[in-house]
Structure 1
């Protein structure tokens, strides 16, 4: 009895092929929990469709991925002076976001990250003059710019990249390859037309692995079903049942990511109103679970446990049987499955 990720493998791979066609030279990204699939599975998928470069989040992820992917590995987290050393093969390329970092990586293969409007990390325009001499001692694989997902000010992603191309040109830095994140296929094509002597490679994760929502589905197995009457006490905190119904124990708890949610940026009145409503319900211990039964998401009876969740079903809803599976609407990037099942035609 498990929390299972079901994958319609043929459909999933068809979507991968469509994305690869739309983004020539695409660099697949496998980081964190592997977008819900596990990084090792994604490394093997990247090998299957012939990628020559795989982007990973950290040096630790690179150390694990190297045995599952035979091409080059690009570490996205920038090198920092004094970081813990991790033994890595020469086919690993380090991202660097400071002149000092470049100077510390003598002989290494590096991609230099420039500071985008994200303002997260990157070399500033004023430091480009210092970079010119620093790159003489490294093997420069290219430059990179990590763009924001949303542009609420109406600015254009291509314009931002072009401005950086002009700055790098002005500093007389080599522009054979530029890696970009969060661009659309038409934007990538515009950049390639504008600068035909430079190869632009899009680093793509979410769109590649999760772009077809119908290709995957989480389901939690029902472990137990118990009838309760109004006033019965239950659970860790021994709260009282508010009415007659059933408690349904289903696979999937906090260790899987159930009940855990990353903060969301909200735009507009309606999303904010819904957020306020959810917060108000939570103050009276009313929290909607991700599990669906009889066409509706069901309420948690109490906060999820480590490996299971307990749901409450009112008496007018026929309960599932032990062994049934409930669809779960879970965020891939925060979920860890017990097992993955490939469904092929």
Structure 2
């Protein structure tokens, strides 16, 4: 009995090919938990696509991936002199976001990140004059810019990239390759038309692996079902059942990422009102689970356990049985499944 990620493999791979057609030369991102699929599986998919490079988040991920993937591996986290050294082969490309970082990577293959409107990390315009000398001692693979997902101020992502291209050209820095993130295929085409001598390579993760929501589905198997009447006590804290129905013990708990949620950016009054409503219900121990049964998202009977969740299914719903599976609405990047099944 397991929390399972089911994959419609043909549909999933067809979507990958569509993305590759829109973004020729793309670099797939395989970081974190492998977008719910795991590093083993994603490295296989990258090889099947015939791509020569993939990107990972950290040097530790690069160390794991080097034995799974034979091509180049781009580490997205910028180098810092104080980091723990990790033995990596020459086909690993490091990112640098400062002049000092470039100086610390003597002899290495390097991508230099520039500071975008994300304001996360990157070389600033004022540092470009100092960069030329630092680049003499590394093998420069190109420059990179990581753009925001939303542009609420109405600015143009393409214009932001063009601004940096102009700065780099004015500083007499090479513009052979530019690595970009969070651009549409139309925006990328505009850049390629304006800078035909530059190779633009899009780093893509979410859109590639998770862009077709219908290609994947999480399901938690029912391990036990216990009938309860209104007021019956149950669980670790001996709470009372809110009505007649069943307690369903379903595979999927905190060790899988169930019940764990990343903070969300709320936009507009409707989303804020929903957030306040959820918070209010939580104060009286009413927490909606990610599990769906008989067409409705069901409530946690109590906080999820490490490997299972106990859900309350009211008497008016279809009665669950051991071996049934509850569909689960889970975030791929925070979920660890027991198994992945192709179908």
TM (norm. structure 1) is 0.99
Relative to structure 2, which stretch is displaced further, 50-59 or 240-249? Answer: 240-249
In the alignment, which residue of structure 2 is the partner of 1:154?
Answer: 154
In the alignment, which residue of structure 1 is the partner of 2:268?
Answer: 268
In the alignment, which residue of structure 1 is the partner of 2:98?
Answer: 98
In the alignment, which residue of structure 1 is the partner of 2:214?
Answer: 214
Name the SS of the counterpart of 1:77 in structure 2.
Answer: strand
1:185-222 CA distance string (max 9 Å, x none): 00000000000000000000000000000000000000
- The alpha-carbon deviation at position 242 of structure 1 amounts to 2.1
Within a 5 Å distance, the mapping from 1:150-189 to structure 2 comes to 150-189=150-189
- The alpha-carbon deviation at position 109 of structure 1 amounts to 0.3
1:50 partnered with 2:59: no
Structure 1: gaps (5+ residues): none
> Residues of 2 paired with 1:219 and 1:169: CA distance?
52
1:121 partnered with 2:117: no
1:261-313 CA distance string (max 9 Å, x none): 10011111111111111111111111111111110000000010000000001
> Residues of 1 paired with 2:198 and 2:242: CA distance?
66
- The alpha-carbon deviation at position 67 of structure 1 amounts to 1.0
> Residues of 2 paired with 1:167 and 1:85: CA distance?
33
> Residues of 1 paired with 2:75 and 2:40: CA distance?
15
1:95-114 CA distance string (max 9 Å, x none): 00010010111100000000
In the alignment, which residue of structure 1 is the partner of 2:238?
Answer: 238
> Residues of 1 paired with 2:243 and 2:267: CA distance?
37
Where does structure 1 differ by over 4 angstroms across 4 or more consecutive aligned residues? none
Question: RMSD value over aligned CA atoms?
Answer: 0.6
> Residues of 2 paired with 1:24 and 1:44: CA distance?
19
In the alignment, which residue of structure 1 is the partner of 2:225?
Answer: 225
In the alignment, which residue of structure 2 is the partner of 1:327?
Answer: 327
- The alpha-carbon deviation at position 318 of structure 1 amounts to 2.6
- The alpha-carbon deviation at position 314 of structure 1 amounts to 1.2
> Residues of 1 paired with 2:314 and 2:104: CA distance?
63
> Residues of 1 paired with 2:229 and 2:24: CA distance?
61
- Count of residue correspondences: 343
1:311 partnered with 2:305: no
Name the SS of the counterpart of 1:163 in structure 2.
Answer: helix
> Residues of 2 paired with 1:140 and 1:49: CA distance?
26
Name the SS of the counterpart of 2:89 in structure 1.
Answer: coil
- The alpha-carbon deviation at position 37 of structure 1 amounts to 0.4
In the alignment, which residue of structure 1 is the partner of 2:140?
Answer: 140
Relative to structure 2, which stretch is displaced further, 318-327 or 51-60? Answer: 318-327
> Residues of 2 paired with 1:192 and 1:9: CA distance?
32
- The alpha-carbon deviation at position 230 of structure 1 amounts to 1.7
